[in-house]
Amino acid sequence: AQKVTQAQTEISVVEKEDVTLDCVYETRDTTYYLFWYKQPPSGELVFLIRRNSFDEQNEISGRYSWNFQKSTSSFNFTITASQVVDSAVYFCALSRGDNFNKFYFGSGTKLNVKP
């Protein structure tokens, strides 16, 4: 069975602090995809990253970086020098590498960045 766990329900930081959002997943598949989405207060889902199970290289995009470690089944997301606009709910998700492509979402981490 597929499962995604985001143990941090809510995190509060002060602007310019770095923050890491944890994501742990469970799957028996050898091929799968991991995602992060941002859901701002307006409610839409904003795609941040997609990573396949064969690519363990860390990725950096501006102030965002992702650490994928298969050994610990984790796909953590770090925001460097956080800003108030980063305040949102962040979801980690897993999809199987098959034609069904169904997404399994974590419960989300609400990030509050205070000025």
Residue closer to other proteins, measured from CB, 75 or 91: 91
Torsion from C-alpha of 75, 4, 8, 44, nearest 10 degrees:
90
**Interface with other proteins includes 12 (CB under 8 A)?**
no
> Site residues for other proteins, window 13-72 (CB under 8 A)?
31, 33, 35, 37, 43-45, 47, 50
Which of the ranges 17-25, 54-62, 69-77, 103-111 carries the binding residues for other proteins, by CB under 8 A?
Answer: 103-111
Counting other chains too, the contacts that 46-54 makes at CB distance below 8 Å and 24 or more residues apart are 48/77, 48/90, 49/77, 51/75, 52/97, 53/29, 53/97
Supply the minimum distance, in Å, between the C-beta of residue 45 and other proteins: 4
